[in-house]
Each structure stands twice: as C-alpha cells, then as structure tokens.
Amino acid sequence: MRMFCTLMLILCLVPLMLNAAEPIKITDVDGRERVLNGAGKVHVVIYSNEDVQDDTRAASKSLDKFQGLAEFRTVVVVDLRGSLANLAQGYTQRRMIRDLDTEAERITPFYRSNGNEGNPRPDISAVPDFKGDISVRLGWKETAETLRVIVFDQNGKEAARWEDLKDYDPLQKLVGKLLGK
C-alpha cells in the first residue's frame, strides 16, 4: 500500500514539475538579482534599444496605474548588442541608474494613489544586455526595431508575448486581469 501511495504521489507531481517555469534570473543595473518570471508577481518585461526607446517609455507609462502594487513589477531589458555602449559600459550603466532615479520620482504619485508609501526605486529595474545573452534567453535572438513585451503571470508562466506592440490597450487589459483590477 505504501508503494502504491508513493507511486501515485510521483505520478501527480511529475506533471506539476514539468509545467513549472524555469526561473529566468538576471542581474540588473543596480547589481540586484531578479527573477523575471518569479512567482507571486505579475512581471512585465519590456525590450528596449536605441531604435525603440521612446516606445519602451510609452509602454511603461501605459502601466503607471499599476505602479506601487506589491504584486506588480516591470523590468526593461536594454539590448546593447553591437552598439557603441559596449565601448563605454560604465558610462552606460551610470546613465541607466540616473534614468531609473528619475523614473522613480515620476512614478511616486502612482505609488501613493495605490496606497504604497514606500520608495519606488528598489522596485524598478533595467538590465543592460551588452552581449545579448538575456535577450536570447527571452527568445529575442536578433535585435529589433519593434517593441517587444512579455508578461509573466503570478505563477511565473508566460501569459502573453508581443513582438511588435503598437497598441497598449491589450497589455493594460491583460495586466489588469492578472492583477484582478
């Protein structure tokens, strides 16, 4: 009987283990390790490079109403493959940190409107992807001139992926649905 119970337990757990998303770990520009598909939060991963940086900012701003919610995070992956930024990595990282500091100030009112009195700065994240390793792990094998976005649900599973996002409404609706808003 004990053998039968053990076998049944194994048979029940195998599908769960196969469906578990492998953690996508990165180190952001602040040196903090992040898990892009970490459980317990809706993560929106936004692709950026010189060609789409304005679109990246617009997509991020379209999600402002969720800023400050404990179960929501955005991460911008800056694809720097083949760019001049590789020649000045220190400067590039310092510039990204300054931009994140400015962004934290900008989103503070959204934190307050969502009842979060904390400092937004530790919650926002950007990743300089000098070699393209992170982009490739996310399925972005080549650089792009289009806005790419991946949404991971609270279980760490990919809920949606856009390779050329132009209308932010579907993104906002999906994130709102995942957050129960």
Between residues 12 and 58, the one the model is more confident about: 58
Closest CA relative to residue 155, chosen from 12, 20, 46: 20
Domain boundaries, the chain: 41-179
Fold type of domain 41-179 = Glutaredoxin (3.40.30)
State how far the Cα of 43 lies from the Cα of 62, in Å rounded to an integer.
14
pLDDT reading at 18 higher than 80: no
Assess whether pLDDT exceeds 50 at residue 9.
no
- CA pair distance 154, 61, nearest whole angstrom: 21
- Identity of the residue numbered 90: G
How would residue 181 be classed by pLDDT, with cut points 50, 70 and 90? confident
